Amino acid sequence: MAMLVLLLVTLPLMFAQDPRTQPSPSPTARAFEGMITDTRCGAKHPATVAATATNCTLACVRGGEQFVLVDGDTTYLLEGDVMVLKRGAGQRVRIVGTLNGRKISVTSVVTT
């Protein structure tokens, strides 16, 4: 009987999860505004290219650069659906996504 009581008392403790191993709650999505450009050019596309900001951004991304959002002096690396990011390339946009450090996981892009 004592063994059964001990088992009933310790069994729930065996299956209790350590709070340190629990996943942290996911950050909430929020809105960001700025211009979608690339890691090479940032907010200033060279005038010597004789291309629009959109064409310059797309050419740089094809060349291996990554999409970024420039908002004043702040630059965020963008990750998400490349086709959605391409549609906003070189344009002022409103992005909804989750910020992790300096990277935004993009869920939507709307040109403004």
Q: What is the number of other CB atoms lying within 10 angstroms of the CB of residue 44?
A: 9
Instruction: Give pLDDT tens digits along the chain (112 positions).
Output: 555 444 445 545 554 555 454 455 457 899 999 999 999 999 887 776 667 899 999 999 999 999 999 999 999 999 999 999 999 999 999 999 999 999 999 999 999 9
What pTM does this model have?
Answer: 0.73
- Helix (H/G/I), strand (E/B), else coil: 26: coil
